[in-house]
Amino acid sequence: MCGRFALTLPAEAMVQLFGAAPANDLPVLPNWNICPTNAVHAVLSEAGTRHLASLRWGFLPVWYTSPSDGPLLINARAETVAEKPAFRQAARARRCLIPASGFYEWTKDGAGNRLPWYIHPREGDLAAFAGIWQDWTSAEGDTLSTCAIVTTQANEALGPIHHRMPVTVAAPDWGLWLGEAGHGAARLMRPAPDDLFAAHRVDPRVNSNRAEGPELIEPFGG
């Protein structure tokens, strides 16, 4: 799964990188500890135009009567995303890219303590996670744009840390995932190459969703 991530690249740089028009309500950056239900940056493509938008991380099916009506859907499994009633329409028609500088996963020591790891691209400043999105409307008529990160089986390099990882879309395939380049996005839902990411232990302070600061992603030897 992917339950926390970081994004440190300025919005202006992502606008240029993705060729996307920015929304006016983008979340504040940098953010070293992005948590479920936070607003996240996402690249959408509508009518051939890309937008850098703000979405709530936590996908809301249309039948939810409130944001807390059911399970918090922050991830969608690649193996079933096209079949699950909550996700299948979005998987076909509302795919997005969710930029990240890296993400966190946890192992446990012999005493059961949670040991956080920061996983980040070996080269470059950014990964683009596959996502799906959907507008949810409350009974009062308020609209909330929401998303989930698509995950798949971990590759051999990251398997010892966690059995799942985000689907990561390479730059040449961005258009295919966004629906700009025809059909075939399903073939992108596979583990990343073993050499794409590096991982190191980080301070257990990140176990708290209130922790902040660049030191959260620094190597930790304790």
* Percent above pLDDT 70 for the chain: 100
Residue ranges making up the domain that contains 21: 5-217
Domain membership of residue 67 (yes or no) is yes
- Provide the annotated active-site residues: 2, 105
Domain membership of residue 120 (yes or no) is yes
Domain membership of residue 75 (yes or no) is yes
- Cβ atoms of 98 and 191 closer than 8 Å: no
- CA dist 211 and 94 (Å) reads 32
According to the model, what pLDDT value does residue 222 have?
A: 56
> How many residues would you count in the chain?
222
Domain membership of residue 192 (yes or no) is yes
Domain membership of residue 38 (yes or no) is yes
Long-range contacts of 22-26 (CB under 8 A, 24+ apart): 22/51, 22/52, 23/51, 23/52, 23/53, 23/54, 25/54, 26/52, 26/53, 26/54
* H or E, element range at 103: strand 102-108
The domain spanning residue 26 has which CATH number? 3.90.1680.10
Domain membership of residue 134 (yes or no) is yes
Domain membership of residue 222 (yes or no) is no
According to the model, what pLDDT value does residue 79 have?
A: 97
pLDDT in tens, 170-219: 999 999 999 998 889 999 999 999 999 999 999 999 999 999 999 999 99
Reference 103, options 17, 11, 198; nearest CA is: 198
> Helix-strand-coil percent breakdown of the chain, rounded to 5?
15, 35, 50
Question: Structure pTM?
Answer: 0.97
pLDDT in tens, 1-58: 789 999 999 999 999 999 999 999 999 999 999 999 999 999 999 988 999 999 999 9
Chain centroid to CA 13:
18
Reference 23, options 11, 13, 33, 34; nearest CA is: 11
Q: Give the count of domains, the chain.
A: 1
According to the model, what pLDDT value does residue 48 have?
A: 86
pLDDT in tens, 48-88: 899 999 999 999 999 999 999 999 999 999 999 999 999 99
pLDDT in tens, 132-143: 999 999 999 999
